[in-house]
Amino acid sequence: MADTIKTAILGGGCFWCTEAVFSRLKGVLKVTPGYAGGNTEKPTYQQVCGGTTGHAEVSKIDYDPSIISYNGLLEVFFHVHDPTTLNRQGDDFGEQYRSIILYSDDEQKAAAEKFTSKLNASAEFQRPIVTEIKQLRAFYQAEDDHQNYYENNSGQPYCRLIITPKLDKFRQKFPQSLKAP
């Protein structure tokens, strides 16, 4: 199986949210919150939140393409956040919360561009998609306290008010894609 593992890097707002969603998908082997898309090497959470690094909060998603495709990941990605708001997801705002796809090869770039164009043409969203599609230069893993955040803190107010409803929406939209409990 190790030869078939692929990686996607996606940012759709707070990485606690994207990690919680993608970790529940069949075929996803590991989700690692981190930072990418900016210029600062080895940024910290405080630096990224300060808005001076150019990085976004992202999730590195290791997946088995024989179970879920890159397009399958994109389908979930575009439906669990608002890809039409610039530098904002709900009450989280700043460029670190922007909608971003970081591709690692031409195949991912073409798939992301095609998927985004198809969604824009469908008028599924009332406003144009503003998701940035950018080549991945580096991924920096977030600090340990950001890993498995929802699993370790599900009783915290942010988790109960923001992540749990997002997970409920995800479960309703993609019930066939969920891992067995």
Catalytic residues: 14
Q: Which string of DSSP letters, residue by residue, matches 83-150?
A: TTSTTEETTEESGGG-EEEEESSHHHHHHHHHHHHHHHHHT-SSS----EEEE---EEEPPGGGTTHH
**Which residue in the block uniquely carries the two structure tokens 């409990």?**
181
* CA angle centred on 155, ends 84 and 19, rounded to 5°: 40
Q: Residue 104: which residues within 8 A CB-CB, separation 6 or more?
A: 7, 9, 135, 136
Residue type, 13: G
State whether the Cα torsion 121-167-131-59 is positive or negative: negative
Pair of tokens at residue 101: 């796809």
